[in-house]
Amino acid sequence: MSIKLGKNTYGKNAVNLSKIIRHPDYHEFRQISVNVILEGDFETAHTIGDNSKLLPTDTQKNTVYALAKEHFVSSIEAFGLYLANYFASNNPQVSQVRIELTEHSWTRMRFNGTIHPHAYCSGGNEKHTATIVQNKNGIEVTTGITDLLILKTTDSGFERYIKDQYTTLKETSDRIFATQCEVSWVYNSSKILFVELFNGIRTTLLQTFADHHSLSVQHTLYAMGEAVLNKFAVVNEISLKMPNKHHILFNLEQFGMDNKNDVFIATDEPFGYITGTIVRE
């Protein structure tokens, strides 16, 4: 029985980078984290310790900072495409470059309607993500959002589900719907307006969540994905992960009080976890 190396990758993870883009009248601040993941002809590095085909991960990290100076000026997608192409075209031993980018949200401070030129507040946990994969088949760009914490106080219910001997859940036509959504979508082109598309798709997701008459998390997950595919021809596929962050009606009857659907226990665990991918047929 012979033994051989199976799938393998290497690269630098969590290359954390911040950048000030100095405009004449204000400073733009960006903070990102980049993972570089290479696949290729690295068998002898593993089997006989021959490092001659290895671009050190330390050099990969330095390359991210060096290329950020000139090439991280607009979207993380555009920067990721530049990085992927740089590593692919300068390293014949590499068969696939995968660049994963996460952008942290910072929002400029506002006082009496005036935006401060160089002071920022955290924009919360929500992050914009992008993954670029470049190989012999071409280039694929996937964009997404993580930690998108959203909630609505009504227009959500859960009824007419299976009931068996262990069912205790009460049907409701009016409940809180809260989720920490993770969404990602695949573009069918890499020559598109990434910033405008991101903003448009994010708004479409939020608007659909807000306006949808939700009969379940599954129902709204599908509606959100469907709305994006209907509106954006450059998106072929969208995946959503929607943990159900339960807000359970608290029993006030034990104190002789009515709970008119206004006092809840917010529970972290266990939580319902609903995921789905919506594609074009």
Ligand X SMILES: O=c1[nH]c(=O)c2[nH]c(=O)[nH]c2[nH]1
Residues 44, 46, 48, 49, CA torsion sign: positive
Find the angle CA(138)-CA(144)-CA(145) to the nearest 5 degrees: 165
Give the span between the Cα atoms of 61 and 8, in whole angstroms: 19
What part of residues 164-203 is at the interface with ligand X (CB under 6 A)?
169
Stretch that binds ligand X, among 18-26, 53-61, 189-197, 214-222 (CB under 6 A): 214-222
83: CB partners within 8 A, 6+ apart = 34, 36, 63, 64, 67, 71, 97, 99, 132
Give the span between the Cα atoms of 184 and 146, in whole angstroms: 8
Interface characters, 59-98, with ligand X (x: CB under 6 A):
----------------------------------------
What part of residues 110-169 is at the interface with ligand X (CB under 6 A)?
158, 169
Q: Check 44, 57, 146, 204 and give the catalytic one.
A: 57
Asked about 57 being catalytic, the answer comes back as yes
Residue with smaller CB distance to ligand X, 169 or 193: 169
Could you tell me the two tokens for 87?
A: 């590593």
Asked about 46 being catalytic, the answer comes back as no
Among 176, 216, 227, 245, binds ligand X (CB under 6 A): 216
Asked about 118 being catalytic, the answer comes back as no
Q: Interface with ligand X by CB under 6 A: which residues?
A: 158, 169, 216-218, 244, 272
Catalytic machinery residues: 12, 57, 246
